[in-house]
Amino acid sequence: MLKLHSYGKINLFLDIEGRLQNGYHLIRSVIQSVDIYDEVVLNSLDENKIIIECSDISIPVNEKNTCYKAALLLKEALCINSGIHIYINKRIPAEAGLAGGSGNAAAVIKGLNVMWKLNLSEEEMCSFGMQIGSDIPFCLTGGTCLTEGIGDKVTELNDFSWNDILIIKPEFSMSTAFVYKNLEPQNYNLYKNNRILEYISLNDYENAGLSVENTLEKVVEKFHPEINGIKKLMLDNGAISSVMTGSGSAIFALFKDTVSLNKAYQIAVKIYPDTFMTKTVADGTKFIN
């Protein structure tokens, strides 16, 4: 048996640089792992099949599940005749822009690489991951990274260390495909002059925290303008900045101290039950003894 934690992520910065002829968008994003995690448990099976179980009954446990896709991809590509049982204890909300499903798949790839003695390099694991989802290479790397291209180019950055983060997942969810389908060209390259990379390179956390931006907000707020109310709630209660993560629907905010964070949490959780206090971490996935 192997047990891993797959950590969620927030996009400190996300800009769209263009769109390829095949429909994929070119992104430029600073992504950060945070201390909200799912638990992924791998057990060998005598039978040559893949079985998925999940604590959240709303998550599919068939071939649509990212863990299933990851295990099947490795089995078929590398001619593996072993079976695997995968249990997912979900804590990260789905369709929230927090990479819950991508992190789970990354954990499966990382775990099966050990369990099946595949000896895959990180680059090879990322290559398999890209065939399932564009956030998986980041989830395999973790920490603070610049992600470019279609998500396939991941560059590790200085750690962005922040202890007081609030994440609110509203009642509605967002499909990544829907958001990108409704992204208009006038929203490309909105933040070319953003200096967040410079601030992170200097370990200037405060100015980096003040530089958070996400162009995909422009899409989501058209359909769910309440995200602006959530941002205002956090800013009015001590946050120095607040922005949507990924393609939504979760919104995060950075606070300077735990007192302000706790105060905002107490107000927010009464309105939005899926509210989390968290901090940055340096891992995307991690083996647990």
Beta strands in the chain (DSSP E): 2-19, 25-45, 50-54, 83-89, 144-149, 153-156, 165-168, 213-214, 239-244, 251-255, 275-278, 285-288
Catalytic annotation, pick one of 9, 69, 75, 90: 9
Catalytic annotation, pick one of 69, 75, 110, 135: 135
Q: Are 141 and 284 in contact (CB under 8 A)?
A: yes
Q: How far apart are CA 85 and CA 230, in angstroms?
A: 39
Greatest Cα pair distance, the chain, in angstroms, is 56
Q: 200-229 b/e with 16+ CB inside 10 Å = b?
A: beeebbeebbebbbbbbbbbbeeebeebee
- The question of whether 135 is a catalytic residue gets the answer yes
Task: Specify the 3-state DSSP secondary structure of 84.
Answer: strand
Q: Are 146 and 16 in contact (CB under 8 A)?
A: no
Closest CA to 135 of 245, 229, 278: 245
Closest CA to 87 of 115, 64, 67: 67
Token pair 């009015």 in the structure block, residue: 236
Q: How far apart are the first and last CA of the chain?
A: 10
- Two tokens, residue 248: 């939504």
- The question of whether 9 is a catalytic residue gets the answer yes
Residue 243's DSSP bridge partners are: 252
Residues taking part in catalysis = 9, 135
